[in-house]
Every structure is written in structure tokens, then in C-alpha cells.
Amino acid sequence: MKTLARSGRRALAGAASVVLALSVAACGGGSDDETSADELDANADLSQQSIVVSNWADYMPADIADTFTAETGAGMEVTTHATNEEIMAKLTAGADSGIDVAFVSGPFAQALAEQGLVEPIHADLVPNLENLYPEAQELSYDEGNEYSVPYAWGTTGICYREDLVDAAPTSWNDLLEPAPQYEGKVTMMATDRWLMLPAQKALGFSANTTDEAEMEQVKDKLIAAKKTLLAYDDTTFYERLISGEAVMVEAWDGWCNYGTAEDPNIKFTVPEEGSDLWADTMVILKSSENKEAAHAFINYVLEPETHAWAAENILYNVPNEPAMELVPGEMKDQYPPLSLTPAELLEGEPLVDLGEAATTYTQMTTEITSSK
Amino acid sequence: MTSSSMLRSGRGASERSARTERASLLGPGLLYVTAFMAVPVLLVLSYVVFQRGRFGGIVYEFTLDNFSRALAETYRVVLVDSVIIAGAATLLALVIGYPVAYAIAQLPDRWRTIALVLVVIPFWTNFLVRTYAWIVLLSSEGVVNRSLISLGVIDDPLTMLYTRGAVVVGLLYAYLPLMILPLYASITRLDPELREAATNLGASRLRTFRDITWPLTLPGAITGCIFVFVPSLGNFVIPELLGGGKTVMIGNVVRDQFLKARDWPFGATLALFLIVVLVLLFALQSVLSRRYSTGGPR
């Protein structure tokens, strides 16, 4: 069956490829070889190369393929994925995914690197790496940006309606054990890492803890918290604040801004117990046959103008100093999270891959969300 | 038809030709179902005895761990819960659907068609749009609560959305037409003379229903129940949207194994459990149908 998965057979019809994808033996298990870097030619003719970039929808300029081609001569095609898990399934399925550059969150970049699926970043082909804040070059899932380049970063906190709460929340416990008048008006996220985070931090644990006794405490706290929740919500929590159904929600800093854009009473705070530091990164696949163009793409994204687009349109912080300087001052006033400094962001604990413990997190998530 | 069979004569040949014809008629459909349903499903189910790779993917090492994991209390609770919720939606659909189907069957021909079209119309609207409509209706700031508050019936909004009840209502709404259609079909097949005979023999309307109408339409009712119960049990969109993620059904867990946990072998194991439950149900249905449809008009 493996012969079916030879590269160059990418233009299979949709339905057939579904069947094939299922029938192509997925060789699981990471290889433990040291990732060795290919020899790359800094003077390669990029017009002979074409790359496929997989990203979350609307996460980069809609016309980026055209502007990138105009800039470098290399062809580019964009495909989208909805979640890290979806792109991971594609990239780890053993067949050639046909993707050259993928956007994934830090822990997933780490997991891909451990499996030997990503190409180390050739810094000489990405001169714009110097635009990154020094802090963005020492993120614990990939110290020194050896195999990934951060695209956006941020933290998680409480997004709330200033006009509907008596006092601004300061602690994760304000969310986990809300005052009686706010019961049923609070939401939390359901994705395992962020479901656990508030309780982990409130109890003084690491956001990456795999200690069973600690996780039991986290679970109990979250089962108790479920009784006061309006809903688990990963995607529309800011809409609930706008409508007033909720007064306090667990939120990523950038997504809280979406609420603020509609209602200036919506504010963001990082609780005193601390939080996480998440980063979305770009990786180049080892299977790519267009590695020079892939590096050129990352370099192009790191151009201040390109990277500032993300800050101004997705309202996330980008780890690019000249790009953040391009963001208009009034925008930073309107959306305070955009003024978080790298040092403040680094106070958050970087999320790293959990390895085998991921299964435990998943089962606990089911236990918590299905508890009565 | 092979030339050798042409030489033979009599019944054997015609039976054989009928068989060949049946096979050639069934062929394309069977091929399609095999290639696009059976093979992929069997492939995925074959993963149940393998292990999850550390980062997802599949490690082809034999294990029975997935079965012991699937029997953990966490998932038993979810499965029982799913059966209760899907069962409640099914029962309500039967209670609401039967009178509707009965009423449609009594209509003159022209109105019948219109009524049936009205039953089916929701199916032509996107499933998500219809589910979101319920969110707009039920939320604390939604249509129902605002109307009741402005009418002075209530002071504080009722909590309707993000409850188990909302999930049941959502499933009921989504699959009610699937209950009404088979019921309607079996009610229209009823011989009206049977009911007349019962009435002439002095049976009350209730007794006529209990002894004549209900038993004879039972196969339709069972079919309708299966049609509602099966998709309800596996649904994961409605629990998420109308249950606010606080009501977890087995469909959500299977989906999470495939899409979030990247644990295909375990997802396949849970799906296998679900399939076993459903196969048992279909077996029950065919036994009951055979028992009750003997003697009735076919």
C-alpha cells in the first residue's frame, strides 16, 4: 500500500484520497535520529520553486501568496487547518503531506521536531530573524529557534465586562469560584491545556504538570467549578460577553480584543497567580522539496510590514520588535493586551509538549466536562 | 449469461438468469458501498488492537489496552448518559410524531402532500443554522426570555440554554421528521375496515387504538424510533452547541479522540462499542417487526 503514497501523486481526486489516506499505512512512532540539516543553496533560483503553506484560516493576509511571489518569484499556495490536531494528523500520517511550511503552536512544533519531521532553521537564509525580540529566541519549547520561528504569542487570562462586575477579577479563583451573583455567567475553555490552566495556576502548580497527585487536585477543583459555569466555550466566549450572557470568561488575550472591539467595557486581566505563554510558530517540513523558498517565506513573514499585519488584524502580539513599532499608538490604547511587553509575556509559563501524559489530560477533560 | 447455460433448458436456466440479473443490478451498488463505506470503516476498526503513537499516528503493536480503557467508569458514565438523552429525544419524538403522522394521514390527498413537504422542509436548511436558531431562542438574552420578561411573566431569565434539556430539545427537533415519515407510511397502509369492524363490534375509540391501530403501526413506530435514536446517539454538534459543552455524549468523546487527542486506536474502540449497541438495536427491530407485521397488510 505504501507505494500509493509516493510524492508526486498529490492531485488525487478528493474522495479517492480519503480512501487512500485511510489505507496508507500510517507509520506511527517517532524516529530517534538526530535531525540533520540539508545543504541549502542560498542562491537557489526561487522562481523554480513553489511552496504549500498550511495555516489557520484568516491568520495571515489574504493576498500573501501574491505578494510573496511578487517579492521572491517563488510560487505559493495556501491551505488551511482548523486545529493543531488536524495539521498534526496530516503531518504525522506517514505519507507525504505535500506541505512545505506549517503554522503550529509551540508544543506541537516540539513534537514534530522530536519525531524528526521538521527541517532545522537555516539562520543564514532568514536574515530577518534579527527582528525578533531577544525574549522570543529563548522560548522553552525550542530554545534558540532551532527548528521553529514564532509568529504570534500571547497569554491566557480573564476577559470580563467591567460594567457588569462589582470589582475587576484578580485571581483565577474569581473565575473558578465566582461570587453568587455571577454563577451561571462564567465560561471556561474546553481544550484540555486551557481547561486545566486556571486550576493548575490557582493551586500553584505548573501548567505542564504531569504529577498524578497534583492533577487529581486540579480535576476536583474543575469538577466543582463546572457547577457554576454557563458553558465551556473555546471560540465564541467574547460574544457571550457582548450579549451580557456572561460577565467573566477565560480567554486568550487576542480574542478578548475581539470583544473590546464591540464593547469598550470588555477588559482583559492576567490573574495574580500567573498564566501561560503560548506561541504559534512556523516550521519547515523535512519532506519539503522547496526548502529555499520555504525559508524565503519565513523571512518574508518577518518583514515588519507583513508581520505588523497580524498584530493589526488578528489583534495578537507578534514577537517582532520593528513590526510592533509599526502598530499605531491609538490601536494599542484601544486594545491594552497589545501593549504587553515581552518581559510581561515571559512571566507566563511556556506550554510544552506533554508526551505520554497527553492521554491522561484527555481522559481527565472528559471526566470533568461530563461530570454532573 | 454464459453460452453453456444457454444450452441448458427449463427452470434451472431461468432461475440462474434471474440470479445473474439480480447480481448485475446489485453489483454497482455493492461495489460502491464496499469501496466507500465498508473498506474505510473496517480499516479504522482494525486499529482497535493497535497502540497510539506518542504524537498520534498508530503503532502496529498488538494490544488489548484500548478495550480496558474504554470500560473505564468515565466512558461508561458517558455512554449511559448518551443512551438516556437519545432515548428521551426518541420517546418525545414518538409522542409528538404519532399524532402528527395520524393527522396527516387523515387529510385529503392534496393537503397530505403539502403537509409532508412542510415536515421535510427543515431538512433543506443547513443543520448548523437551525441549531443556532435554537441558541437565539433559548439564551438568557434570547427571544423567549425577553418576551416573557417584557410580558411580566418572569423577572429573571430562565436558564434554558446549555442544559441537558436543551440538548434533548435540539435532538428532538433535528430528527422529528425521521419519526413522522415512517409512522405516516404505516398509518396510511392501515386497512380502515379493520377499525370500522372494531367500532361496529362496540370497541371504544381508545380500545380500537390499543388493539388495532397501535399494533398494526408498531413496525412504523419502531422504524421511526431507530431513525431518531441512532443519529441522536452519535450526534456531537448539538451537545456542544446547545449543551454548552457541559453535556458530553459518546459522539463528542469519539470525535475528541480523533481530532483532539490524536488517539485513533482508542477512538476506533469507542466507535466499535457504539456500533455493537446499534447492531443489537437493529436486530431487536427486525425481530419485533417480523412479530408484529405478520397478518397485517404488506
User: Quick one: closest CA in B to A16, which residue?
Assistant: B36
Q: What confidence score (pLDDT) does residue B298 get?
A: 40
pLDDT band at A28 (very low <50, low <70, confident <90, very high): very low
Q: What structural domains and CATH numbers belong to chain A?
A: 50-153+278-350 (3.40.190.10), 155-277+354-370 (3.40.190.10)
Q: Is A3 on the interface with B (CB under 8 A)?
A: no
User: Quick one: closest CA in B to A243, which residue?
Assistant: B141
pLDDT band at A16 (very low <50, low <70, confident <90, very high): very low
Distance CA(B161)–CA(B134), nearest Å, equals 9
Q: What confidence score (pLDDT) does residue B5 get?
A: 45
Distance CA(A248)–CA(A170), nearest Å, equals 12
Distance CA(A56)–CA(A141), nearest Å, equals 20
The pLDDT of residue A223 is above 60: yes
Q: Is B157 on the interface with A (CB under 8 A)?
A: no
CB distance A22–B257 less than 8 Å?
no
Q: What confidence score (pLDDT) does residue A32 get?
A: 38
Q: Supply φ then ψ for residue A152, to 5 degrees.
A: -145, 155
**Which of A159-168, A192-201, A346-355, B171-180 bottoms out in mean pLDDT, i.e. has the lowest?**
A346-355
pLDDT tens, residue by residue, A113-148? 998 999 999 999 999 999 999 999 999 999 999 999
Q: What confidence score (pLDDT) does residue B188 get?
A: 93
Q: What confidence score (pLDDT) does residue A37 get?
A: 65
Query: Concatenated DSSP letters for B31-51?
Result: HHHIIIIIHHHHHHHHGGGSE
Using CA atoms of B285, B291, B294, B298 in order, give the dihedral in degrees to the nearest 10: -10
User: Quick one: closest CA in B to A116, which residue?
Assistant: B55
pLDDT tens, residue by residue, A312-324? 999 999 999 999 9
Minimum-distance CB partner of B245 among A27, A233, A359 = A233
- Report, as ranges of residue numbers, the positions in chain B whose pLDDT lies below 70: 1-13, 55-56, 293-298
Distance CA(A353)–CA(A106), nearest Å, equals 8
Q: Does pTM surpass 0.85?
A: no
Q: What confidence score (pLDDT) does residue B173 get?
A: 94
Q: What is the 3-state secondary structure (H, E, C) of A46-75?
A: HHHCEEEEEECCCCCCCCHHHHHHHHHCCE
Cβ-Cβ contacts under 8 Å, A94 against chain B: 57
**pLDDT above 90: percentage of residues in chain A:** 80
